[in-house]
Structure formats: structure tokens, C-alpha cells
């Protein structure tokens, strides 16, 4: 899915990816073949299973690297609601602006629906604060999508994958 954060993404380090299909054929894709875009790769829409990936990293100063890691880890723990279960960032970043900013500006930060809640720490996350079931989370996502659309005319799209039902 070309995971990424804080200006970096897998696209920058993946050299090649080895996959197997359901007939047992093995294929190897180069970085270019992978068609990396925002939270998407060639694999996303295919039935390939990744069995190996070669990453190419750059040499750098160990202390500098450790300090960047520490800094980013601190950013993540201070800004994300990692104390409660979630599926990560709920909505994709829209073409203009940030999903979390739109949700906050729509007055939805901290909104609770049954056991699900728009995190009061980072409104881009829907957290499970009290035994939420799938439908609680989906209903809250629908409320967020329609409220943000009514206020700003921007339709948020889920970043998380929903299985077995439609949003
Ligand atoms: C608290 C939290 C914070 C997060 N922060 C970020 C972030 O900053 N940036 C970001 O980009 N994402 C973030 N995420 C999302 C995270 O990167 C994705 O949830 C990640 O892809 C999950 O991988 P997984 O292997 O755990 O999940 P899985 O559900 O196992 O896999 C995710 C998808 O990949 C497919 N898949 C898994 N293994 C293979 C394989 N071998 N071959 C082919 N397809 C496969 C699955 O079918 C599924 O569609 C966050 C998630 C959480 C919970």
C-alpha cells in the first residue's frame, strides 16, 4: 500500500518486489513496475501475494539517524491515539488540505457514536473507546463523511479497507 509518514514512503526504498500468483507463478517487479502512488501500488488491485522485497537504504551518520528516529517516534506517540485500538488513519488525504483538519473544523473532534469515537487527540483516527463493533465505526464514518461534505463540499474517502460490506 506504499505506507508512508512524515515525508517518507516505501516508494523511496523499495528496489524490487517478488510475488507469487494463485497459479504458483513467481514474478519480480522493479520499483518502476510497482506503480507506487499515494497508498497504492500495482499489488493493491491484483491477486499477487508479496513473498519478498528488496530494500535499498542510504548510508548515513548513525547518531543523526537515531536522532531522526527518536524525533519521529516522539511525534507519533504525542499526536496519535496509540492507547486505544484503531485501524490507523481513517480517511485518505483529500486533494486539498488534511482530513483531520476538515474533521476538526467541522466540529467533529471527540464525537462519540456508541462505542466508536473520533479521537479527541487526532481527529484523523476513529478509535474504539468502548467495545465498538464494525457497524458503530462505519456509522460514525458515514456521519463524518456527510458532515464534512455538507460544510466544505469535500467528500472524504476511507484509507482503511472495509471487508464484507460497503460504506
Ligand atoms: C495506529 C496506526 C497508525 C498507522 N500509521 C500509518 C502511517 O503513518 N502511514 C501509513 O501509511 N499507514 C499507517 N497505518 C496503516 C498501516 O500501514 C496499514 O494498516 C498496514 O498496511 C497494515 O499492514 P498489516 O500487515 O498489519 O495489515 P494487513 O491487514 O495484513 O494488510 C493490509 C493489506 O495488505 C494486504 N497484504 C498483506 N500482506 C500481503 C502480502 N504478503 N502480499 C500482498 N498483499 C498483502 C492485505 O490483503 C490487506 O489488504 C497505521 C495503522 C495503525 C493501526
Ligand 1, residue 76: give the atom nearest the CA: 8
pLDDT digits (tens, 9 = 90+) for 16-62: 999 999 999 999 999 999 999 998 999 998 999 999 999 999 999 99
Contacts of 119 (CB under 8 A, 6+ apart): 81, 84, 86, 109, 110, 125, 126, 127
Q: List the CATH number of the domain containing 128.
A: 3.90.78.10
How many domains does the chain divide into?
2
Same domain (yes/no): 26, 84: no
Same domain (yes/no): 51, 82: no
Percent pLDDT > 70 in the chain is 100
pLDDT band at residue 96 under the 50/70/90 scheme? confident
SS3 57: coil
Same domain (yes/no): 146, 81: yes
Q: What is the pLDDT of residue 17?
A: 98
66 domain residue, yes or no = no
Is the pLDDT assigned to residue 97 strictly greater than 90?
Answer: no
Dist. CA 132–CA 111, nearest whole Å: 14
End-to-end CA distance of the chain: 20
**Range(s) of the domain holding residue 27:** 4-55
pLDDT band at residue 77 under the 50/70/90 scheme? very high
pLDDT digits (tens, 9 = 90+) for 5-29: 999 999 999 999 999 999 999 999 9
36 domain residue, yes or no = yes
- Distance between Cα 152 and ligand 1 center (Å): 29
Q: What is the pLDDT of residue 45?
A: 86
Q: What is the pLDDT of residue 43?
A: 94
Which residues are tagged catalytic?
39, 89, 159
For residue 161 and ligand 1, the question of a CB distance below 6 A is answered with yes
Q: List the CATH number of the domain containing 25.
A: 3.30.465.10
Q: Is 69 exposed, middle or buried (0-12, 13-18, 19+ CB in 10 A)?
A: exposed
Q: What is the pLDDT of residue 51?
A: 98
Range 139-153 average pLDDT? 98
Range 114-139 average pLDDT? 97
SS3 62: helix
Q: What is the pLDDT of residue 111?
A: 98
**Which residue, by CA, sits nearest to atom 48 of ligand 1?**
161
Amino acid at each position: 500500500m506504499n505506507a508512508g509518514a512524515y515525508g517518507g514512503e516505501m516508494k523511496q526504498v523499495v528496489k524490487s518486489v517478488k510475488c507469487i500468483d494463485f497459479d504458483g507463478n513467481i514474478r519480480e517487479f522493479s520499483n518502476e513496475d510497482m506503480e507506487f502512488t499515494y497508498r497504492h501500488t500495482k499489488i493493491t488491485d491484483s491477486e499477487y501475494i508479496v513473498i519478498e522485497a528488496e530494500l535499498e537504504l542510504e548510508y548515513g551518520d548513525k547518531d543523526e539517524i537515531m536522532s531522526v528516529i527518536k524525533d519521529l517516534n516522539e511525534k507519533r506517540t504525542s499526536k496519535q491515539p496509540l492507547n486505544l485500538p484503531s485501524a490507523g488513519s481513517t480517511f485518505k488525504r483529500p486533494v486539498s488540505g488534511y482530513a483531520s483538519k476538515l474533521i476538526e473544523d467541522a466540529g467533529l473532534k471527540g464525537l462519540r457514536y456508541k462505542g466508536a469515537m473520533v479521537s479527541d487527540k487526532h481527529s484523523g483516527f476513529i478509535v474504539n473507546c468502548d467495545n465498538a463493533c464494525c457497524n458503530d465505526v462505519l456509522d460514525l464514518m458515514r456521519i463524518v463523511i456527510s458532515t464534512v461534505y455538507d460544510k466544505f463540499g469535500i467528500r472524504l474517502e476511507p484509507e482503511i479497507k472495509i471487508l464484507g460490506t460497503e460504506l
